[in-house]
């Protein structure tokens, strides 16, 4: 027998030795029988309460049972235009269902409901590769609410909520993204006609990327440089009609279209937009914070920080979305790891579940722990945001800078951790994770986009760093600091002993480490300035260290909120025990990944590290029996998972085979391409 035949026989024999789907189902049943806690309690915790869990399940049942949301074939087998049309069909049906179904409205709530629905796991599952109407609810409406006067809200919100018009948010340009001051689109006021003239003076001024812009929406909130009386007053938001409400033809002076295929979200209808002296009424400038009078007089906002509120809202929403995507990925990978049997732990013994391998546990269990960490930290910032929103109404803006820094940092941490975690989950599924039908590739491409949109993460980290350095300098002057940075006023302890390795002790180690990093980086920054470098160049020369400081700060903040969250006295003993273990794993995991920082600061010793590494291995083993039950507690519906590998019943292999049969290439035994290309080549070589 030749080596190739031997290999084929060995592969076949291995496949025959692996469990049947009935065995896979039994594997998951056995896993669920090991559960040590109340899964429903964790579901309620993540949803925000028993009532919210019940509402979510009701709305999922109402939408997932609707056949209008089914795809005629897998979207991957459709043309680009057909995929867009299919998702637009479902998005429009979603809006109609929400507007016309009183039961849906009662469950979700009229105003916030559809916006939440569009961004939820359900919304993502219903419109798989991007919702062309999502930006209307997630950005267009909040922009009008956040920047429009009461009269402007009355003029635009009713029509927009009713679906009589659809809009997007056009900020990013070909030449500039996060650096808003560099945007080139202009809006010049003409007092003779009381109009603004929007213009794209260069190719790099072309608006680029807004979702829904290409072929879907007929309005946009456009960010442009406001000019009046010969003076530029910076970036301001304008409502601009892009397409005729009856014919959908582009308006005069407007050139709009789709930007072409992307890594993911290819039915999101991302578009480009150019203006050629396009005129709009003066009152289309959203004037809640600043305004232009009829004669062209500019009235500046009472405070430049007032615009932070809308940005904070969007970034906090990204944090929630990111960990929900990670929930989907780790649910798929964990269930698959419980039914997949591979190799031998003991020679001659049956192949174990791959979840029994410590290396697999190390890939997946920290991702489960991460979900709760992001949840507790984001919930804290969300609660603060709601408090700050109330304070803004009475003119109190004290907490806005801290909230801005926290939302920037958490947006960067959650999107970064979720993206890398999802890729880890894909890799944990081996070759099968590379299949489109696993849904892991789509979950990854959807989530990794959040690293860039609404503030590229490196820029976000540098925003946090700027706040840290400012706070550090204020602390040196004896000024009081806000809570999240109050540690910069204190002198951290230099070392930790074994007895201080409690959760509280580890949080102190995080605090001491980030304090040391900020102090050292601030000193380096000052040293560069003392050498005669302009501050901007000194900042750039320190930027790698500044980003590390920002990352350490937000990780410390997350750890602090995690520890507080798991000590909730309202939790049952079983839930509290498993959450404490996950919290402990999270604390230790990120310490071991950044050992150098903790050792360098003196917060921990090499001996401490050795103890923690051993404990981490024990935690992996302790959490292993609850792994499947933990992902079950995320309560992600099979239709929302949309994965051949991650379904509740574990019927993996039959689903994979059935899905493969749906390929258009499998509808005939011999494809047309054989006769057109391969057969002539074979004949020519005879």
Best CA proximity match to 440, nearest among 427, 451, 452: 427
On the CB side of 635, CA atoms within 13 Å amount to: 19
- The alpha carbon of residue 298 and the mean position of all alpha carbons in its chain are separated, in whole angstroms, by 37
Give long-range contacts, CB 8 A cutoff, 24+ apart: 19-24.
19/339, 19/341, 20/653, 21/650, 21/651, 21/652, 21/653, 21/654, 23/339, 24/339, 24/650, 24/651, 24/652, 24/653
Q: Quick one: three-class SS letters along 127-187?
A: CCCCCCCHHHHHHHHHHHHHHCCHHHHHHHHHHHHCCCCCEEEECCECCCCCCHHHCCCEE
| Alpha-carbon distances of 93 from 101, 116, 230, 261, 443, rounded to whole Å | 11, 16, 48, 25, 23
Say how far apart CA 332 and CA 438 lie, in whole Å: 8
Question: What are the residues facing 288 on neighbouring strands?
Answer: none
Tokens 């550090």 -> residue:
472
| Alpha-carbon distances of 178 from 181, 457, 458, rounded to whole Å | 9, 10, 10
On the CB side of 167, CA atoms within 13 Å amount to: 26
Q: Which two tokens stand for residue 511?
A: 């605090």
In terms of DSSP bridges, do strands 219-228 and 167-170 run parallel, antiparallel, or are they unpaired?
parallel
Residue 256 CB partners (closer than 8 Å, separation 6+): 213, 214, 242, 243, 250, 271, 272, 273, 274
| Alpha-carbon distances of 57 from 92, 94, 123, rounded to whole Å | 22, 16, 13
Residue 609 CB partners (closer than 8 Å, separation 6+): 591, 592, 595, 598, 599
Cβ atoms of residues 654 and 21 within 8 Å:
yes
Cβ atoms of residues 568 and 44 within 8 Å:
no
Say how far apart CA 162 and CA 164 lie, in whole Å: 6
In terms of DSSP bridges, do strands 186-190 and 195-199 run parallel, antiparallel, or are they unpaired?
antiparallel
3-class secondary structure, 34: coil
Tokens 């400081």 -> residue:
549
Q: Pick the catalytic residue from 184, 423, 454, 508.
A: 454
Phi/psi of residue 251, nearest 5 degrees: -75, 155
- The alpha carbon of residue 540 and the mean position of all alpha carbons in its chain are separated, in whole angstroms, by 28
Q: For 557-569, give one letter per residue: b (16+ CB within 10 A) or e.
A: bbbbbbbebbeee
Sign of CA dihedral 223, 224, 228, 234: positive
Q: Which two tokens stand for residue 102?
A: 């009183």
DSSP structure class, residue 396: -
Say how far apart CA 292 and CA 286 lie, in whole Å: 10
Say how far apart CA 323 and CA 657 lie, in whole Å: 30
Active-site residue, 245 included: no
Beta-carbon count within 10 A of 637 CB: 16
Catalytic residues: 454
């Amino acid at each position: 027998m030749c080596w190739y035949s031997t290999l084929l026989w060995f592969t076949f024999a291995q496949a025959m030795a692996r469990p049947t789907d009935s065995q896979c189902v039994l594997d998951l049943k056995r896993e669920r029988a090991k559960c040590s806690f109340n899964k429903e309690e964790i579901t309620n915790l993540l949803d925000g309460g028993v009532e919210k869990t019940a509402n979510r399940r009701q709305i999922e049942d109402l939408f997932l049972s609707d056949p209008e949301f089914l795809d005629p074939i897998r979207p991957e087998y459709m043309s680009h235009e057909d995929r867009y049309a299919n998702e637009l069909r479902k998005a429009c049906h979603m809006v109609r269902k929400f507007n016309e179904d009183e039961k849906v409205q009662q469950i979700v709530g009229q105003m916030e409901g559809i916006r939440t629905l569009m961004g939820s796991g359900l919304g993502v599952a219903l419109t798989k590769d991007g919702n062309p109407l999502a930006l209307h609810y997630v950005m267009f409406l909040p922009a009008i609410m956040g920047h429009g006067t009461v009269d402007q809200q009355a003029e635009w919100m009713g029509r927009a909520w009713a679906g009589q018009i659809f809009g997007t948010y056009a900020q990013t340009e070909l030449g500039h993204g996060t650096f808003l001051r560099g945007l080139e689109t202009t809006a010049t006021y003409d007092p003779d006609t009381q109009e603004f003239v929007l213009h794209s003076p260069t190719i790099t001024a072309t608006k680029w990327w807004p979702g829904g812009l290409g072929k879907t929406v007929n309005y946009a909130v456009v960010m442009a440089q406001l000019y009046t009386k010969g003076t530029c007053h910076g970036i301001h938001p304008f409502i601009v009609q892009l397409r005729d409400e009856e014919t959908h033809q582009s308006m005069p002076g407007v050139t709009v279209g789709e930007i072409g295929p992307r890594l993911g979200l290819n039915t999101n209808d991302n578009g480009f937009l150019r203006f050629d002296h396009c005129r709009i009424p003066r009152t289309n400038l959203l004037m809640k914070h600043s305004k232009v009078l009829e004669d062209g007089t500019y009235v500046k906002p009472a405070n430049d920080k007032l615009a932070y509120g809308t940005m904070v809202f969007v970034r906090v929403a990204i944090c929630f979305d990111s960990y929900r995507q990670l929930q989907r990925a780790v649910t798929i990978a964990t269930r698959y790891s419980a039914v997949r049997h591979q190799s031998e732990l003991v020679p001659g013994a049956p192949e174990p579940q791959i979840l029994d391998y410590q290396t697999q546990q190390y890939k997946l269990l920290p991702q489960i722990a991460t979900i709760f960490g992001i949840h507790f930290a984001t919930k804290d910032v969300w609660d603060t945001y709601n408090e700050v929103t109330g304070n803004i109404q009475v003119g109190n803006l004290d907490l806005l800078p801290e909230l801005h820094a926290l939302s920037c940092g958490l947006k960067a941490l959650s999107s970064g951790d979720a993206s890398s975690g999802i890729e880890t989950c894909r890799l944990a599924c081996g070759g099968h994770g590379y299949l489109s039908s696993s849904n892991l590739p789509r979950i990854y491409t959807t989530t990794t986009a959040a690293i860039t949109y609404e503030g590229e993460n490196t820029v976000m980290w540098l925003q946090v760093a700027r706040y840290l350095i400012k706070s550090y300098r204020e602390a040196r002057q004896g000024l009081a600091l806000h809570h999240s940075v109050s540690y910069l006023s204190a002198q951290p302890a230099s070392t930790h002993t074994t007895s201080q390795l409690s959760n509280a002790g580890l949080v102190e180690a995080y605090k001491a480490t980030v304090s040391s990093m900020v102090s050292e980086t601030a000193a380096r920054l000052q040293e560069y300035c003392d050498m005669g470098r302009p501050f901007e160049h000194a900042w750039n020369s320190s930027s790698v260290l500044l980003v590390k400081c920002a990352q350490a700060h937000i990780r410390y903040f997350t750890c602090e909120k995690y520890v507080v969250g798991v000590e909730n006295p309202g939790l049952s003993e079983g839930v509290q025990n498993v959450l404490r273990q996950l919290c402990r794993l999270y604390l230790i995991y990120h310490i071991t990944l950044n050992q150098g920082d903790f050792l360098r600061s003196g917060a921990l010793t090499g001996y401490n590290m050795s103890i923690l590494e051993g404990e981490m291995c024990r935690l992996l083993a302790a959490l292993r029996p609850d792994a499947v039950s933990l992902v079950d507690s995320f309560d992600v519906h099979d239709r929302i998972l949309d994965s051949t590998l991650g379904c509740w019943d574990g019927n993996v292999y039959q689903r994979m085979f059935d899905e493969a049969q749906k390929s258009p290439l499998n509808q005939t035994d011999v494809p047309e391409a054989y006769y057109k290309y391969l057969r002539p080549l074979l004949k020519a070589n005879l």
